[in-house]
Every structure is written in C-alpha cells, then in structure tokens.
C-alpha cells in the first residue's frame, strides 16, 4: 500500500516538472497557433550550457540559472525575430517544418559536440538530501523544490497574463489576432515576448531536469512529448489545466513503472490516448486560448 502512495507522491512531484515544460508550449501555441517542435531540444540545450559553465567555472549548477535563463530568453527573442516570424508568413505547415528542422539541427549539433553519453548536473547535497515521511516514503529535497517552483512559475505566468499590460496583449492576440492588432497591440512584439518567455521557462525546466536525472542530446524529444501530453490531458489554453495534466501524466508514469519498470512511459501515453478518445477537450475545458 505504502508503495503505491509513494508512487503517487513521486508522480505528483515529477508532474510539476512536466508542467514547467508545458507552460511555455501552451503560451506559444496560444499566441501563434503552432507547437514549437524544438521545445524540448531547447531544454536540453540549456542543460548542456549549464554543464559547460559548471565544467569550466566550477561550483554548483544553481548559479548558472542566472546566466542560462536570460540567455535562453534572448535566444527565444532572436528565434522569433529571425526565423519564426518569417515562417508564420508561409502558412500553417511552415512553422512546424522549421521547428522540426531546428530540432534535428540542435540534437545533432549537441551529439557532435558532446557525444551520446548520459550527462547530469550534480547539485551537491541537494541531489540526495530528502525529508523522511515514514519508512517507505522519502521526499527528495530537490524534487520538492522543483515542484514548488513549477507551481510558482505557473501562478506567476497566470498573474502576468491577467494583470500586466504585455500579458493582456498576449491574451488579446490569442483570442483574435486581428482584433488585437486593430486595437493597437504590437503583434510582432507580443510574439517575440511569448517566445522569449517560453524559452526562459523551458530553460528552467531543462536545468531542473538535468539536476534530477540525466540527459543526452536526444532527450529533448521525450521532453516535448511529455509537455504536449500534459497540455492535452489538462485541457488546451488553461495554465492550471496544464499543471493538472502534468500531475496526471507524472502519476501515470510512476504508477506504471511501479507495475512494471519498463511500462512507465507507456502508461503515460495510454492515459493520454484515453483522454484523447473520451475527453478530447481535456480535463479542464477552456473556451479561451489562454485564460
């Protein structure tokens, strides 16, 4: 019994990380109506950036957040200005094809630079310290911190979208590009901001993922898939729904692995497909693109 409770708790903690990955995906989709297929690869890219910084400068990976996250946001801004704005002109398929091309490019450049080995960021005592609940349930300190930050991140993003001017512009653009544009919203700036924020959040996710587990140049693919599944399970266009989706996916995976260690990911996929079959609007259906 304790074993299952433990699986569920660990799943919830893992789900926070997935939610962290998916909020940026949701945001970009809301504003531009496409999924950045290189989303996960940008997470891995930040993990490697932190890895290189730690190798050369030393210390714990925590200080690299201060460099990697703004750098990733800047990459997002440039990505939007230089490539994605252009891709959006080319119709519905172009952004998908461009970001898929980028995904192949990033994965293989990393493969060329670092090889296919598993790497990980060692966060000192944070990596192994935990709180003991009872004899079979331990809460990893890092895991709990990641979860808390994920919830804070989503709350912050929600607050940004509902209270701040750029956030409201973003929601307006998500609801209707044309109407927003007519009422004076600078659409180009909204898009660049959304992508910058998305890449900043995915960098946070990537760094924490790298500290929690290991990563390889190709692990971006599964990050993308889990982020996507969280979004669909929770319900598109709703950040709290995305958090819920992440938690459900996390629990499905850990409970699945508890049943059979090889089946964790499959269990997550099956929950996703079941939602798709029986409740395609997601658990929390939302009328608006980002509310």
Partner 1 sequence: MRATRPESLATVRRYSAPSLGGLGVAGLVIVVLALLPSFVGESLVNRLTQLFSLLILAVGWNLLAGYGGMVSIGQQAFLGLSSYAVLYLSLHGVLAWWGAPLAILFAGLVSVPISFLAFRLRGSFFAIGTWVIADVCLLVVAQIEMLGGGAGASLNDLNGYDPITVGDVTYWVGLAIVVATLVGAALLLRSRFGLALISIRDDERAAEATGVNVARTKRIVYVLSAAICAGAGALLILENLEVQPDSTFSVQYSAFMIFMVLVGGIGTFEGPIVGAIFFFALQQWLASYGVWYLIILGAVAVTVTLWLPKGVWGSVDPHNRRSLVPLRHRVTLHRNTESPHEQEGTETGRGGE
> Is the CB of residue 163 less than 8 Å from the CB of residue 157?
no
Backbone angles phi, psi at 92, to 5 degrees: -75, -30
From candidates 94, 181, 286, 291, binder to partner 1 by CB under 8 A: 94
Which residue in 2, 3, 5, 33 binds partner 1 (CB under 8 A)?
33
Q: Which of 176, 270, 285, 288 binds partner 1 (CB under 8 A)?
A: 270
All residues at 6 or more sequence positions from 254 whose CB lies less than 8 Å from its CB, including other chains? 7, 8, 10, 11, 14, 264
- Return the residues of window 109-138 that contact partner 1 according to CB under 8 A: 109, 111-112
Distance in Å, CB of 3 to partner 1, minimum: 22
Tokens standing for residue 194: 């959304």
Residues contacting partner 1: total by CB under 8 A? 47
Which CB, 23 or 123, lies closer to partner 1? 23
Out of 18, 21, 34, 147, point to the residue binding partner 1 (CB under 8 A): 34
Minimum distance of partner 1 from residue 222's CB (angstroms): 9
In this structure, are residues 248 and 15 in contact, taking their beta carbons and an 8 Å threshold?
A: yes
* Residue in 2, 3, 5, 93 binding partner 1, rule: CB under 8 A: 93
Mark out the alpha helices in the chain (DSSP H runs).
Answer: 2-32, 39-57, 65-79, 85-89, 93-114, 141-163, 165-175, 177-182, 187-212, 220-234, 239-259, 264-278
| CA pair distance 98, 198, nearest whole angstrom | 17
Q: Determine contact, residues 127/211, Cβ cutoff 8 Å.
A: yes
The answer to whether residues 32 and 88 touch, using CB atoms and an 8 Å cutoff, is yes
**Binding-site string for partner 1 from residue 222 to residue 261, where x marks contact by CB under 8 A and - marks none:** --xx--xx--x---x-------------------------
Q: Please give the residue ranges that form the binding site for partner 1 (CB under 8 A).
A: 29, 33-35, 37, 83, 86-87, 90-98, 100-109, 111-112, 221, 224-225, 228-229, 232, 236, 262-263, 265-266, 269-270, 272-273, 276-277, 280
């Amino acid at each position: 019994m304790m074993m299952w409770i433990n699986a569920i708790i660990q799943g919830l903690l893992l789900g926070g990380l997935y939610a962290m990955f998916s909020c940026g995906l949701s945001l970009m989709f809301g504003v531009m109506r496409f999924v950045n297929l290189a989303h996960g690869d940008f997470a891995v890219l930040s993990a490697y950036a932190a890895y290189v910084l730690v190798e050369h400068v030393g210390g714990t990976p925590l200080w690299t957040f201060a460099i990697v996250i703004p750098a990733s946001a800047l990459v997002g801004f440039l990505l939007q200005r230089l490539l994605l704005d252009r891709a959006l002109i080319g119709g519905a398929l172009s952004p998908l094809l461009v970001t898929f091309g980028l995904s192949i490019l990033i994965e293989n450049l990393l493969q060329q630079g670092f090889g296919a080995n598993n790497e990980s960021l060692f966060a000192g005592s944070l990596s192994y310290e935990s709180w003991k609940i009872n004899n079979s349930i331990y809460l990893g300190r890092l895991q709990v911190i990641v979860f808390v930050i994920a919830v804070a991140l989503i709350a912050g993003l929600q607050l940004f979208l509902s209270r701040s001017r750029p956030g409201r512009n973003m929601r307006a653009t998500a609801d209707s590009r044309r109407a927003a544009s007519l009422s004076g919203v600078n659409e180009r700036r909204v898009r660049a901001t959304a992508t910058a924020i998305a890449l900043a959040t995915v960098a946070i996710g990537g760094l924490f993922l790298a500290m929690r587990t290991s990563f390889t140049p190709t692990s971006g693919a599964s990050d993308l898939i889990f982020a996507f599944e969280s979004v669909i399970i929770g319900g598109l266009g709703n950040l709290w729904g995305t958090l819920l989706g992440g938690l459900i996916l996390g629990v499905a995976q850990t409970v699945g692995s508890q049943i059979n260690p090889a089946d964790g990911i499959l269990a997550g996929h099956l929950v996703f497909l079941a939602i798709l079959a029986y409740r395609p609007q997601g658990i929390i259906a939302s009328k608006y693109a980002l509310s």
